[in-house]
Amino acid sequence: MTAVALSAYQRGALPLSSSTGRTLGMWDLAQRHQHLQFWQTIREIQARLAPLGAEIAVIKGVATEARWYDELGERPCTDVDIFLAPDALADSARVVSALDPARGCDSTIDWLVRRRLLQHVDLRVGNIAVDLHFDPLKIGLPTRQLDEVWSSTQMLPTPHGTVRVLRPEVELVLLLLHLNRDRFALLGPFLDIRRIVDRADLDWAYLLGFVAEEGLQVPVWKSLAAVAEVLCLAIDVPPVGRARGRTWDRLWGGHARLQGDDGRQRARRLQMFINLHATGRARENLSELRRQLAPPRQLFEVAGSLRPGQSYVQYFVFGRFRPGAANVRLSRDAAC
């Protein structure tokens, strides 16, 4: 929140000492420099993927900042998030190799992505962390409307080049679900939601239909209600089912909000429960549970936790649960 606090201080809306103002100014300069590096990385990604004919959309991060904020550096960002076009998913291994040659990659990733078993992978482009999304929502359950998400993307001109971004309604859903993933621990994402609600000409009929088709009414609308409550926004939030609504309140209610890094750490144990609050997706949840209990060998191999030729049974039964063993989460994030 450095740049937002600095802007308020410069307007006289936030009383701070002059030394604190200078410190915020130095932090703001460092953050602006980092965001310029992120934009340079996005241009490098576009250049590397051009020979493959693979397109990407920039999601969250500096794209959200360029779209809904006033100045560079106002929205905290730690990496670059990109969403690979669905028609390029069959070529995921080549995309990964083009972006991060040092990582090493084979057709295993293509197999995992094709079966919707892998939703993203963490890469390094130069010295910048890049989160390559094969599924934009990245909550475990596969996005049903993947082609619709891509076909509805929009081109956003910025001072740093034109990039493809999600339509505002889909971006809002993504950010609301991300609040669930982070257990409402930080204030910054609340501001993201407010900026979109205030500044975007949202098509609420489209938004309601999109959320209903994904069966994500509970986590999405409960999250929007939480943001409205914390920030005192006048939003007519759609109602949700009572049973799932009550369990959501127990897991993500007011006691869980704005607890910083401690809250985010506890959120890791709650992520799988986002899926269970989806409606009409029992079969997919069963598949996810089965994958959690017995993940395919390929996920461990892509994660680098299982060496070629190493016994899967021996690793799974003995190595994974040995004290001090690498903690590979049994989720679609395992290949990060």
- The pLDDT tens digits of the residues spanning 28-46 come to 888 899 999 999 999 999 9
Q: What is the pLDDT of residue 334?
A: 42
In this prediction the pTM is 0.87
So what's the pLDDT on residue 318? Answer: 64
pLDDT over 90 at 211, yes or no: yes
Mean pLDDT of 3-32: 84
Alpha helices in the chain (DSSP H): 2-11, 18-49, 61-68, 92-99, 107-114, 146-151, 168-181, 188-199, 204-214, 217-231, 242-252, 260-267, 271-276, 282-293, 297-303, 312-314
Residue 329 has pLDDT above 80, yes or no: no
pLDDT of residue 14: 85
Residue 324 clears pLDDT 60, i.e. is over it = no
Partnered with residue 158 across adjacent β-strands are 161
CB 258 within 8 A of CB 191: no
Question: Collapsing DSSP states into helix, strand and coil, what is residue 84?
Answer: strand
Residue of 30, 10, 125, 133 lying closest to 77 (CA atoms): 30
- Residue 214 pLDDT > 80: yes
pLDDT of residue 317: 67
Q: What is the DSSP letter of 1?
A: -
pLDDT tens for each residue of 90-124: 999 999 999 999 887 778 899 999 999 999 999 99
Q: What is the mean pLDDT of the chain?
A: 87
The whole-angstrom distance between residue 89's C-alpha and the CA centroid of its chain comes to 18
Tens digit of each residue's pLDDT (9 = 90 or more) over 153-200 = 999 999 999 999 999 999 999 999 999 888 898 888 999 999 999 999
The reported pLDDT for the residue numbered 5 is 80
Instruction: Say what the pLDDT of residue 287 is.
Output: 86
| Ranges of each domain in the chain | 39-165, 167-282, 294-336
Residue 47 to residue 31: CA distance in whole angstroms: 25
Residue 292: other Cβ atoms inside 10 A = 16
Q: What is the mean pLDDT of residues 243-252?
A: 90
pLDDT digit string, tens, across residues 66-89: 999 988 988 989 999 999 999 999
CATH topology of domain 39-165: Beta Polymerase; domain 2 (3.30.460)
CA distance 220 to 178: 10
The phi, psi pair for 80, rounded to 5°, reads: -110, 125
Tens of pLDDT along 139-149? 889 999 999 99
Work out the percent of the chain whose per-residue pLDDT is above 90. Answer: 57
The confidence score (pLDDT) of residue 336 equals 41
Instruction: Flag whether pLDDT at 328 surpasses 50.
Output: no
Q: Which pair of tokens denotes residue 136?
A: 């934009």
Instruction: Provide φ and ψ at 326, rounded to 5°.
Output: -60, 135
Type of residue at 245: G
| pLDDT of 222 over the 80 cut | yes
59 to 157, 217, 246: CA distances (angstroms): 14, 22, 31
Residue 326 has pLDDT above 60, yes or no: no
The confidence band for 58, taking pLDDT boundaries of 50, 70 and 90, is very high
Q: Residue 269: which pLDDT band, with cuts at 50, 70 and 90?
A: low
Do the Cβ atoms of 59 and 133 come closer than 8 Å?
yes
Alpha carbon distance 14, 10 (integer Å): 8
Q: Which of 53, 87, 62, 32 is nearest to 161 (CA)?
A: 62
Choice between 214 and 263, residue whose per-residue pLDDT is larger: 214
Q: Name the band, by pLDDT with cuts 50, 70 and 90, for residue 319.
A: low
How many Å apart are CA 34 and CA 31, to the nearest integer?
A: 5
- CA-wise closest residue to 333 among 266, 271, 262, 285: 271
The residue whose two tokens read 């397109």 is 55
| φ/ψ bin of 275: left (φ > 0), alpha (ψ from -120 to 50), beta (otherwise) | alpha
